[in-house]
């Protein structure tokens, strides 16, 4: 393809979309999607509630992880009304392990907002962004996928496709680049009911073909217009530093029960329980029971869990839980791994000298 077919403006950040480019995005790409798309449960419905649940679950989370959570969630909370009436403990427990817990809190708030509106989501993207947990991407997804509206969306998969097709050299972490990609997404939209297929196809292409590593370029329906010289080097991202943290946790048991403490009253782990942090002034340390690392936002956390006991009677605002009771309360993903260790291995009450 020549430079006249896909040139950039003077700022170097906004590809000019001509009719040839649109024809490839609207023709081969849509045809590929109709024949190759994965059969995912949220693609079998146009119910706005079910699609909203899937969209919030899929933020920062892989499809294979989401599917069982999605099925369990809809079985437990099948409607906006059921979710609005559910307790915080039940919703957090149902979301346990998915992480990014602001999503479930926003979904609960959203349920109340929908009920206040008479039980229906608005169909306009601008109105959708006024509700809890719905940003520009989610608004575009809901408007197009649930209501058949002409609405653009840009997520990580779409950014990767655009960066490669247009050989985009600017970092996608830059706000100006993101704004330019939204402009491209809007310029590429087809009319009417075809918008849902177009948006779904863009995301599916990024997930299944235009993948971060080893993209399947020979199978790509956009290969005739793709300008990427070295696709695996695109998109360009600003370098982010990962901070390392250490976490030392005490596993304290008494008469077959385990000591747990409530998490913070605010923030992402509000409403969750946890095993206590080791405090050498109050506790005596025993054998190492578990050690692993986990990621959270920009941190890489090394967690060590030791068997321990109180030096004096517990005075913290915690509670003793039996193993059966522990299974009914929400724990963060990392502390959920410790609970699983206890439930499967049943370590004996530590004999600490």
Active site residues: 55
Q: How far is CA 96 from CA 54, 254, 332, 335, in A?
A: 15, 26, 6, 10
The rounded Cα 319 to chain-centroid distance in angstroms is: 31
Which DSSP string corresponds to 144-166? IIIT--------HHHHHHHHHHT
Distance CA 305, CA 249 (A): 5
Q: Which alpha helices (DSSP H) does 77-174 contain, by range?
A: 80-85, 88-95, 102-116, 125-128, 136-141, 156-165
Q: How far is CA 349 from CA 23, 251, 253, 279, 304, in A?
A: 68, 9, 6, 19, 18
Best CA proximity match to 288, nearest among 250, 241, 337, 236: 250
């Amino acid at each position: 393809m020549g430079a006249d077919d896909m040139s950039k403006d003077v700022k170097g950040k906004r590809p000019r979309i001509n009719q040839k480019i649109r024809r490839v995005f609207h023709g081969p790409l849509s045809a590929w999607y109709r024949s190759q798309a994965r059969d995912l449960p949220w693609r079998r419905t146009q119910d706005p509630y079910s699609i909203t649940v899937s969209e919030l679950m899929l933020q920062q989370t892989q499809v294979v992880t989401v599917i069982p959570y999605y099925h369990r969630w809809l079985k437990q909370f099948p409607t906006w009304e059921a979710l609005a009436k559910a307790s915080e403990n039940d919703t957090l427990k149902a979301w346990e392990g998915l992480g990014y817990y602001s999503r479930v809190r926003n979904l609960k708030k959203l349920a109340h907002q929908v009920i206040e509106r008479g039980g229906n989501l608005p169909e306009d993207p601008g109105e959708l962004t006024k509700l809890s947990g719905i940003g520009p991407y989610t608004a575009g997804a809901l408007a197009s996928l649930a209501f058949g509206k002409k609405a653009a969306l840009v997520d990580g998969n779409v950014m990767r496709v655009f960066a490669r097709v247009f050989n985009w050299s600017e970092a996608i972490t830059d706000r100006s680049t993101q704004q330019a990609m939204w402009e491209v997404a809007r310029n590429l939209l087809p009319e009417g009911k075809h918008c849902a297929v177009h948006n779904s196809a863009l995301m599916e292409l990024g997930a299944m073909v235009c993948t971060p590593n080893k993209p399947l370029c020979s199978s790509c329906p956009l290969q005739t217009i793709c300008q990427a010289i070295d696709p695996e080097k695109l998109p360009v991202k600003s370098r982010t530093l990962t901070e390392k943290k250490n976490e030392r946790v005490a596993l304290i048991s008494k008469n077959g029960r385990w000591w747990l403490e409530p998490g913070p009253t605010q923030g992402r782990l509000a409403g969750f329980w946890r095993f206590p942090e080791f405090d050498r002034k109050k506790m005596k340390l025993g054998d190492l029971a578990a050690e692993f690392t986990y990621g959270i936002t920009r941190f890489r956390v090394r967690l060590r869990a030791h068997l321990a006991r109180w030096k004096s009677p517990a005075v913290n605002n915690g509670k003793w839980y039996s193993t059966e009771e522990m299974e009914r309360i929400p724990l963060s993903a990392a502390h959920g791994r410790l609970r699983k260790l206890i439930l499967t291995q049943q370590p004996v009450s530590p004999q600490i000298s």
